[in-house]
Amino acid sequence: MKLRHFLQFKDFSRAEHEYLFARTKKIKSKFKKYQRYWPLEDRTLAMIFEKPSTRTRMSFEAGMHQLGGAAIYLFTRDSQLGRGEPVEDAAQVISRMCDIIMVRTFEQDIIDRFAANSRVPVINGLTNEYHPCQILADIYTFIEHRGSIKGKTVAWIGDSNNVCNTWLQAAEILDFKVNVSTPPGYELEAERKNRHVEEFKDPMAAAKGAHLVTTDVWTSMGFEAENEERKRDFQDWMVDAEMMKAAKKDALFMHCLPAHRGEEVAAEVIDGKQSVVWDEAENRLHAQKALLEFLLLGKK
C-alpha cells in the first residue's frame, strides 16, 4: 500500500472524505452495539504530544484499543525530543517501532519534517496551523444532524486559528461556504483564503443565515503570552443567544473544546438546545477510528 499521511484536510480528496464519513457511521454503529471489531490487532499507534490534550489523547488511545491495537503516549517533556533530539531522527526511530503515528506540535513545518522521515503514516493531531481530525469529526457531526454539508454556510466567529484554517480547506474540498469574522488585526492570512470564504467585520453579519455557528478559544496553545491583549481585542466576538438568532432557526452550534464560557461563547449557547458539542467531541473517537483503519488497511 502507498504510504499516506493526514497532515492537512486537503491531503484527502472529496471522495476519500466521503468514504471516511461513511466508514465512521459503520464503525460508530458497531461500537454502539458492543460488537467487537479488531481490524488493527497487533498494530501499534505512537502518539507524540508537544502540547496538552484531553480529547485527542482519549479518542486516539481508546480508539486504537477498540480496534484491537495498542497505543503509546509520549510527551515531549518525557522524551528525548524535549532535550533537542532532531525531529527527523525521532521520526526515523519511532516509525521503525510502530505502525502509525499521531503528532501534536507547534509549527506545521515540524510535522511535515517528521512525516518526510517516517516509514509509517503520520496523522496531524493539531499544529499551530491546522487541526484536520477536529474538522473530520465536526463535519461528520453536521452530517449526522443535518445531512450533507454541500452548499451550506458555516459561520466562524473569532480567531483565525488552526481550527478556522482547517474549516477553510474543508469548504473548498466539500463545496460549502464559510463566513469568517475576526477582530481587526486578527484577519485571515492571505494564503488561507479561497473562493468559498467570505470575510465580515461584523460578527452578526457573518452569523446571518448560517446553518452552523462555530468558534474557538481566543488564545490557542502556544500563544499564552498574548492572553490579556486578546481578551480585550475579542470582547465583541462572543457567540451569544442574540448571534444565534441571526443564524438560521435550526442552526447548530459547535466548539472543538475546551471552551471558556463568558469569553468566546455564552453559557446559554454552549449549554443550550442548538449546541451539539458533546456529539462533536464523541465523534472524534469514531471519525479517527475510520481514519486509522483507512491509513493502515485502505478501503474496506
Residues 182 and 188: beta-carbon distance below 8 Å: yes
217 binds, options ligand CP, ligand NVA, none, Cβ within 5 to 8 A by partner type: ligand NVA
Residue from the set 48, 120, 174, 256 that interacts with ligand CP by CB under 6 A: 256
Q: Please identify, among the stretches 1-9, 49-57, 182-190, 228-236, the one whose residues bind ligand CP according to the rule CB under 6 A.
A: 49-57
CA 299 to CA 212: how far, in whole Å? 30
- Phi, psi for residue 114 in degrees, rounded to 5: -60, -50
284 in catalytic set: yes
Residue from the set 53, 66, 275, 288 that interacts with ligand CP by CB under 6 A: 53
Report if residue 216 touches ligand NVA, rule: CB under 6 A: yes
Report if residue 141 touches ligand CP, rule: CB under 6 A: no
Residues 10 and 171: beta-carbon distance below 8 Å: no
Please give the DSSP secondary-structure letter assigned to residue 201: S
11 in catalytic set: no
CA 226 to CA 264: how far, in whole Å? 15
Residue 36's CB is within 10 A of a number of other CB atoms, namely 7
Helices assigned H by DSSP within the chain: 14-32, 55-66, 87-94, 108-116, 132-146, 162-174, 203-207, 227-233, 241-246, 267-270, 277-297
Report if residue 207 touches ligand NVA, rule: CB under 6 A: no
Catalytic residue among 8, 66, 134, 274: 134
- Nearer to ligand CP by Cβ, of 110 and 204: the residue is 110
Report if residue 174 touches ligand NVA, rule: CB under 6 A: no
Residue from the set 46, 256, 287, 295 that interacts with ligand NVA by CB under 6 A: 256
DSSP per residue over 97-152, as a string? Answer: T-SEEEEE-SSHHHHHHHHHT-SS-EEES--SS--HHHHHHHHHHHHHHHS--TT-
Residue from the set 24, 162, 182, 275 that interacts with ligand NVA by CB under 6 A: 162
Residue from the set 24, 56, 105, 162 that interacts with ligand CP by CB under 6 A: 56
Q: Please identify, among the stretches 84-92, 108-116, 213-221, 238-246, the one whose residues bind ligand NVA according to the rule CB under 6 A.
A: 213-221
Binding site for ligand NVA (CB under 6 A): 126, 161-163, 216-217, 220-221, 256
Binding site for ligand CP (CB under 6 A): 53-56, 126, 134, 256-257
